[in-house]
Chains A and B, each alone.
Chain A
Amino acid sequence: MNANATVQPVLAAVNLTKTFQEPRWLKKPLAKRPALEDVSFELHRGDILGIAGESGSGKSTLARCLTGLERPDRGRVLLDGVEVFALDGERLRRQRRRIQIVFQDPFASLNPRLSVRSAIEEVLQVHHLVDKQGLSARTRELLEVVGLREADADRYPADFSGGQRQRICLARALAASPDVLIADEAVSSLDVSIQAQVVNLLLDLKEELGLAIVFISHDLHLVQQVAPRILVMFAGRVVECLPSGSGLDQARHPYSELLLAALPRLDEGSSLMFPDVGDLGGGFPDEGCPFRPRCVRAADLCAILDPELREIDSEHLVACHRPRKSREMGEQSLIDQGGASSVSHKSSSSER
């Protein structure tokens, strides 16, 4: 996927698959569609990978598998070539330090009973990253890097705003000296102006520390802003992988197109209409392409065969039997899908 084929990626996901079973008493668990299905990518140092998806797309499950919070059923996570889940106990715990995560909710991401200093120093101590004398100096350094003051170190999370808490979470994550940082909707609950500040901070960290970042968000514009390469996820799989430089309108998968069409535009020329395609939170068909029920271009093939990711352009992959042709004016037809689905489709849009 990347031109630097000779340099080993710092993080690689290979065919990650995870299904959440619903256990039942004394019976076989209910079969469900996988939360993650065959997700693979490579990430190099100093690179940012954007992952765009809505709830139920599997992006959170992916984040949890990458950080070791969930164990995938199949597939591997490789850190500098070392398979993370093949390790155990002590070695696993030490490797985990190298991938850190910042979550969406700044209010639940910090232990309310620990002062900022305690939270950061704990990381340094557990992993023996500095000796006793160096603790407070390093803490001060980390706080400065994220734009906080040393005086903030002895305060408690309750004293800070959402944006500041995210910075504290960043400082805590950085304390582990990670190679990879996952931002799982890390700026989604922040105001626009604070969002900009935190995004800039992430970009600075990438530049200064060579940090590799996985940036997950449902806001396509934001993902495009931050990441040179975007993976679009739907129903647990990657449906499109494209470079963001040429613009999001280069997206060819019908779901990507839908996502773009649905995004409200701050565009002077845009119409006031929003596409009404009903709730995607219905069930997915058991066979074939999961997007088929909502896809205008669906053909008979789509009901039978699951499309695989195929390269249709340089650096551009799509998992679709009938992706949009480059110059096709297909966007209008995606929009009018009619009314909302009925209640018989149980919601599967819960975040995992």
Chain B
Amino acid sequence: MCAGSSVEPSSLSVSDLHMWVGASGKHIVRGVSFDIPSGSAFGLVGESGSGKSMTIRTLMGLQPRGSRIKGRATFEDADLLNQHSWKARRRKAPVAMVFQDPTSSLNPLLTVGDAIAQVCRSHGDSKQRAARTRSLALLTRVGIRDPEESYRAYPHQFSGGMRQRVLIAMALAVRPRLLLADEPTTALDVVVQAGILRLLDGIRREESMSLVLVSHDFAIVAGMCERVGVMYAGELLEDGPVREVLFRPRHPYTQALLRSVPENNRSGRLPSIRGAPPDLSELSAAGCSFAPRCDHAVARCHTSPIALVRVRPGHAARCVFATDDSTERVRAST
């Protein structure tokens, strides 16, 4: 797809990424492509089964065993998909990931400080003392007061939000240039979530990191990212600047999804999308994956492959109606 800006080189470039999983070879990611300029944030939005989590895990090398990958993904010219160059890349341009569930991501037998220090040690600060110092600094950086005391604490003594901060500290320990966040706040309460998002946002801007944020929540992406991609059934259906995609969407799926968000509605019934997301093992290769549920679908939507349409520079949608000038404003009121 198109780059955010034609002048800056993209730092993260994903090109025609495919993934098949499991014995039956389910086609979970279908030709996903996007570029992220250095230091910017990209949101990947979609419902369950859209493939957004798998996409991001592939970039981190965490795809499930027995899966097959095709395509290219490079970060600052290092190949993310090739395991051998992975180690070399780690030194030059590290990538870190923050996961959804802080509880299962932390080793309950390690104190928080040791967990972070361990990461520090394998990424440059090989001496015990240096690692400890850096670990303390990171604890402060993620907003944990009393870092000395917290250093010696175990994960179970922390609340969910605090644990997520610890996870973020561990991610920062590698001095990442790219941060991948997979629904980092879904398991947290609203107020705690706000704090974590603010922290991530602040860190991203201060360190000029690139960020890929996966979420099912449009509003989070609206607040955190400059660009957003909407995924459905393994494909990227729309991709563009946040303000454009979320308030002037071009793809019927994006439009329908935004219409069902409670915030965009007055009270009462919510507009919904009929049917359910497709079973990926049954999806036909021809035609648009959303066509069966689309109110605008015509014959060719079901039969011919749908090309990416450039709606305007930086904004593309995979739909035959994308250049239609009848843009739909999603907000129900003024």
Direct contact, A vs B (beta carbon within 8 Å): yes
From the candidates A193, A264, A277, A343, name the one contacting B150 in the complex (CB within 8 A).
A343
| In the complex with contacts A264-B222, A342-B149, A279-B161 CB distance below 8 A | yes
Among candidates A55, A221, A276, A347, residue contacting B158 with C-beta atoms closer than 8 Å: A347
- B283 within 8 Å of A (CB atoms): no
Q: Is B262 in contact with chain A by the CB < 8 A criterion?
A: yes
Nearest-neighbor residue (CB-CB) of A217 within chain B: B262
Determine the chain A residues whose CB is within 8 A of the CB of B223 once the complex forms. Answer: 264-265, 270, 272-274
The answer to whether B47 and A263 touch across the interface, beta carbons within 8 angstroms, is no
Q: Tell whether, in the assembled complex, residue B263 and residue A279 are in contact, meaning their CB atoms are under 8 Å apart.
A: no
Complex Cα distance, B191 from A161, in Å, reads 30
Provide the residues of chain B in CB contact with A264, threshold 8 Å: 193-194, 197, 217, 219-220, 222-223
A193–B218 Cα distance when bound, in Å, is 13
| B262–chain A nearest beta-carbon distance, Å | 4
Q: Which of B178-205 contact A (CB under 8 A)?
A: 189-195, 197-199, 201
**Of A203, A222, A262, the contact of B268 (CB 8 Å cutoff):** A203
Chain A residues with Cβ below 8 Å from B227 are none
Is B149 a contact of A343 with CB atoms below 8 Å? yes
Q: Mark B271-283 against chain A: 1 for CB-CB distance below 8 A, else 0.
A: 1110011000000
Given contacts A264-B219, A266-B264, A281-B159, contact A192 B257 (CB under 8 A): yes
Across-interface contacts of A220 in B (CB, < 8 A): 190
Q: Which listed residue, A261, A275, A339, touches B143 by the CB 8 Å rule? A: A339
Interface SS majority for chain A: loop
The CA-CA distance from A346 to B150 in the complex, in Å, is 12
B74 part of interface (Cβ distance < 8 Å): no
Cross-chain contact B199 with A200 (CB below 8 angstroms): no
Q: Identify which of A74-82, A134-142, A223-231, A307-315 touches chain B.
A: A223-231
Are A281 and B192 closer than 8 Å at their CB atoms? yes
Contact of B273 among A193, A222, A225 (CB under 8 A): A193
B216 touches A192 (CB 8 A): yes
Nearest neighbor of A52 in chain B, beta-carbon distance: B190
Q: Pick the contact of A196: B143, B159, B260 (CB < 8 A).
A: B260
A342 touches B191 (CB 8 A): no
Write the nearest CB–CB distance from A175 to chain B, whole angstroms. 24
Residues of chain A contacted by B267 (CB below 8 angstroms): 224-226, 228, 244-245
Q: Are A196 and B272 in contact (CB under 8 A)?
A: yes
B256 to A, closest residue via Cβ = A193
B159 smallest CB distance to A (angstroms): 4
Query: Out of B149, B263, B264, which one reaches A344, CB within 8 Å?
Result: B149
B268 x A274 contact (CB < 8 A): no
- Tell me the smallest distance from the CB of A232 to a CB of chain B, in Å: 12
* B144 interface hit (Cβ, 8 Å): yes
Nearest-CB distance from A117 to chain B (Å)? 22
A 296-352 contacts with B by CB, 8 A: 339-347, 349
Given the known inter-chain contacts A226-B267, A347-B158, please indicate yes or no for A278 contacting B195, CB distance below 8 A. Answer: yes
In the complex, what residues of B have CB within 8 A of residue A259's CB? 190-191
- Residues 234-262 of B, flagged 1 when their CB comes within 8 A of A and 0 if not, give 00000000010011000000001110111
Separation in Å of the A144 CB from the closest CB of chain B?
17
For B143, the chain A residues whose CB sits under 8 A away are 276, 278, 339-340
Instruction: Please indicate the chain A residues that have their CB under 8 angstroms from the CB of B261 in the complex.
Output: 192, 221, 266
A163 contacts B276, CB within 8 Å? yes
Is A199 positioned at the interface, with any CB of B under 8 Å from its CB? yes
Q: Does B162 reach chain A (CB closer than 8 Å)? A: yes
Q: How far is the CB of A34 from chain B (nearest CB, A)?
A: 20
Given contacts A192-B216, A342-B150, contact A273 B47 (CB under 8 A): no
Q: How far is the CB of A291 from chain B (nearest CB, A)?
A: 11
A279 — which chain B residues lie within 8 A by C-beta?
159, 161-162, 191-192, 195
Q: Which residues of B contact A95 (CB under 8 A)?
A: none
Check if B8 is an interface residue, CB within 8 A of chain A.
no
A190 to B149, CA, bound (A): 39
Q: Is A274 in contact with B197, judged by CB distance below 8 angstroms?
A: yes
Q: How far is the CA of A123 from the CA of B189 in the complex (A)?
A: 35
A165-B65 Cα distance, complex, nearest whole Å: 29
CB-CB under 8 A from B243, the residues of chain A are 268
**A194 near B: Cβ within 8 Å?**
yes
CA distance A38 to B144 in the complex (A): 35
Interface centre among A161, A277, A281 (most CB of B within 10 A): A281
- Over the window 144-163 of chain B, the binary record of Cβ atoms lying under 8 Å from chain A Cβ atoms (1 yes, 0 no) is 11100110010001111110
Contact A262–B190 (Cβ < 8 Å): yes
* A287 located at the interface, meaning its Cβ lies under 8 Å from any Cβ of chain B in the complex: no
CB contact under 8 A between A262 and B149, given known A193-B47, A221-B263, A224-B262: no
B160–A349 touching, CB < 8 Å = yes
In the complex, B44 has a CB within 8 A of chain A:
no
Question: In the bound complex, do residue B149 and residue A263 qualify as a contact, i.e. CB atoms below 8 Å apart?
Answer: no
- Given A244-B267, A275-B194, A279-B192: A343 in contact with B157 (beta carbons within 8 A): yes
A125 beta carbon closer than 8 Å to chain B: no
Taking CB atoms, residues of chain A closer than 8 Å to B276 are: 161, 163-164, 194
Known A218-B189, A272-B224; further 11 A-B contacts with Cβ < 8 A: A162-B48, A193-B256, A218-B190, A258-B191, A263-B190, A276-B195, A277-B194, A279-B191, A281-B189, A342-B144, A342-B150
A-B contact pairs, 15 of them (CB 8 A): A54-B190, A196-B273, A218-B190, A262-B191, A264-B193, A264-B197, A265-B219, A266-B263, A275-B195, A279-B191, A282-B159, A340-B162, A342-B149, A343-B157, A347-B159
A residues whose Cβ falls under 8 Å from a Cβ of B = 54-55, 161-164, 191-197, 199-200, 203, 218-222, 224-226, 228, 244-245, 258-259, 261-268, 270, 272-282, 339-347, 349
Nearest first, the 4 closest Cβ-Cβ pairs linking A and B are: A347-B159, A264-B219, A196-B272, A281-B159
